[in-house]
Amino acid sequence: MPELKLTPSTFACRIHDNREKLTPLVRGAVIQRTAAFMVGGANDFRVVVECPGAGTKEDGAHPLTFSGKWSRE
C-alpha cells in the first residue's frame, strides 16, 4: 500500500485538543481498503470518526465528519 497524502494533513476538533489522536483516525478511515466490485473512484474523501472528547463522563466521545482530498505520493 503506497503512502497516501491527505489534504489537509492534520485533523482537529474545534472543542478538544485531540489532533494527535484524530489525525491517525481520519487517515486510517481513508486508507482502509476492501474488495468490492468496481463502480469507479474519486480522490475526495468524507469520513466519520469518533473524537475521544476530554475523556470525562460529561465531556465524552462524539462523532465528527472530516473531508478533504487524497493523492498517492
> 38 or 58: whose CB is closer to another protein?
38
Those residues with Cβ within 8 angstroms of residue 10's Cβ, 6 or more apart along the chain or in another chain: 19, 23
The CB-of-24 to another protein minimum distance in angstroms stands at: 14
Q: Taking CB under 5 A as the rule, does residue 13 contact Zn ion?
A: yes
**Residue 8, preceding peptide bond in cis (omega within 30° of 0):** yes
Those residues with Cβ within 8 angstroms of residue 72's Cβ, 6 or more apart along the chain or in another chain: 2, 3, 4, 5
> 45 or 58: whose CB is closer to another protein?
45
**Among the listed residues 23, 26, 51, 66, the single contact to Zn ion using CB under 5 A:** 51
Q: Taking CB under 5 A as the rule, does residue 16 contact Zn ion?
A: yes
